[in-house]
Amino acid sequence: MSRTLFASLGALVASTLFSCSTPTPLWESGNPLDHGWAMAGPGAFVVEGDGIKATGGMGLLWYTKKDFADFTLELQWMVEDAEDNAGVFVRFPNPGNDPWVAVNQGYELQICDTTGDKHNTGSVYSFQGPTHIPTKPVGEWNDYSITVIGQDYTIKVNGEVVNRFVGERTERGYIGLQNHDDIDAVHFRNIRITEHAK
């Protein structure tokens, strides 16, 4: 058995073994800035209904309490228009007040159905596009699941695997949400993470 195949099987087994762990909520209600999150760059995330809504930008709402190595990040998002744009960033270093640290040193898992190929929902932004885009109609909540084991990334949208990507950047870092600009109204809720043992 080749080392590459063995490593891939190991990642799959690890993902399966730890998939039954209890997720840790990173945000459920209230102002995220009161729960260990911080803004880098312009704009904000405002509480609206049972979620938070991205406003202004381009900025980054990131979870400051700890960084993560291997994990499954789960959340829900909803758009108000099919062209609304945002992203979920993983494994970037402490950005301070510069959201571009996440862009340039982590990976963005895109949210936008209309930007094409490597920039559509489920893509690893600018690196690899999704196989398909099983999103729900505008105004309905979608489920995002991002499992990262070593350099293997598995992205699911509404329970369907849409991307399997092999990365080459750091294997540990912070997670965050993008607020893209003044016109992209993307909502998020039920942000939770399950860490996987190395």
- Going from the first residue of the chain to its last (198 residues), give the mean pLDDT of each consecutive group of 10, the final group possibly shorter: 44 46 92 97 96 96 98 98 96 98 98 94 98 97 98 98 98 98 94 94
What pLDDT sits at residue 179? 97
In the chain, % of residues over pLDDT 70: 90
**Could you give the domains of the chain?**
3-195 (2.60.120.560)
User: Smallest Cα–Cα separation from 62: which of 86, 42, 88, 84?
Assistant: 88
For residues 91 and 169, the answer to whether their CB atoms sit within 8 Å is: yes
Strands (E), 56-132: 59-63, 71-79, 86-92, 107-111
State the pLDDT at residue 12: 47
The predicted pLDDT at position 5 comes to: 39
Residue 108 main-chain phi, psi, to 5 deg: -105, 130
